[in-house]
């Protein structure tokens, strides 16, 4: 992919270039991670930001027949959303690539579980495909701290920006002078 971007441009999140990807927050996977309610709370903050800024959202489900659907406490109401089933650990399938191309977004904000399996493989493949991933460290998790930490470090080495849900929110806002600021501030506090 040829681009005129400077390397530091990856640290500037732009709403018009952003999409939220929620990976496999499902009934049987959710209770297995170390901090499930942190993942849920911070993912819902991201989804509130997506709703506020009208960002598209893609939700994946790994083997939903075996692992169940996305938790109903993941707040998907009122979103411009596509849901995709998958059997591969990476969510990067021909269908996902088709969806991403249709939206024309290059900055992918990633949340989900597990950090060291489906999230890591998805981020690796997205980076290889020329997308810039923003891995939301407080909206992902693994069963063990070691797997979580190793996966974060690997994704950083791959070029992903390691960030948090609140950092993402304020990057999308960029100023307190817009009506969305008060809406998001109520959600953060």
Confidence of residue 2 (pLDDT cuts 50, 70, 90): very low
Give the span between the Cα atoms of 140 and 20, in whole angstroms.
13
Confidence of residue 3 (pLDDT cuts 50, 70, 90): low
Confidence of residue 176 (pLDDT cuts 50, 70, 90): low
Q: Encoding tokens for residue 84?
A: 């995709």
* Ranges of each domain in the chain: 13-188
Q: Where are the alpha helices (DSSP H) in 54-129?
A: 64-67, 94-103, 120-128
**Residue 53 half-sphere exposure toward CB, CA atoms < 13 A:** 26
Helix (H, G, I), strand (E, B) or coil at 52: helix
Range with lowest mean pLDDT among 7-11, 20-24, 25-29, 63-67: 7-11
**What digits encode the pLDDT tens for the residues 117-142?**
999 999 999 999 999 999 999 999 99
Residues ≥6 apart with Cβ < 8 Å to 119 = 23, 110, 112, 113, 135, 140, 151, 155
| Mean pLDDT over the full length of the chain | 92
Name the architecture of domain 13-188. Answer: 3-Layer(aba) Sandwich (3.40)
pLDDT computed for residue 12 by the predictor? 87
Average pLDDT in the 72-100 region?
96
pLDDT computed for residue 10 by the predictor? 87
Give the span between the Cα atoms of 7 and 133, in whole angstroms.
14
pLDDT computed for residue 6 by the predictor? 66
- Give catalytic residue positions: 24, 86, 118
Confidence of residue 178 (pLDDT cuts 50, 70, 90): low
- pTM for this one? 0.92
Give the span between the Cα atoms of 100 and 98, in whole angstroms.
6
Closest C-alpha among 15, 36, 13 to residue 135: 13
């Amino acid at each position: 992919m040829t681009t005129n971007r400077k390397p530091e441009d990856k640290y500037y999140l732009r709403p018009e270039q952003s999409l939220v990807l929620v990976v496999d927050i499902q009934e049987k996977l959710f209770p297995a991670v170390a901090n499930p309610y942190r993942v849920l709370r911070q993912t819902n903050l991201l989804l509130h930001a997506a709703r506020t800024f009208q960002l598209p959202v893609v939700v994946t489900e790994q083997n939903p027949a075996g692992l169940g659907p996305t938790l109903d406490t993941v707040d998907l109401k009122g979103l411009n959303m596509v849901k995709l089933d998958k059997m591969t650990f990476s969510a990067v399938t021909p269908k996902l690539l088709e969806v991403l191309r249709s939206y024309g977004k290059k900055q992918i904000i990633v949340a989900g579980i597990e950090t060291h399996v489906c999230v890591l493989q998805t981020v690796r493949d997205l980076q290889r495909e020329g997308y810039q991933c923003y891995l939301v460290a407080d909206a992902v998790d693994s069963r063990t701290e070691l797997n979580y930490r190793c996966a974060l470090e690997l994704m950083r080495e791959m070029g992903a920006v390691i960030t948090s849900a609140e950092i993402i929110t304020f990057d999308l806002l960029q100023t307190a002078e817009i009506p969305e600021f008060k809406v998001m501030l109520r959600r953060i506090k």
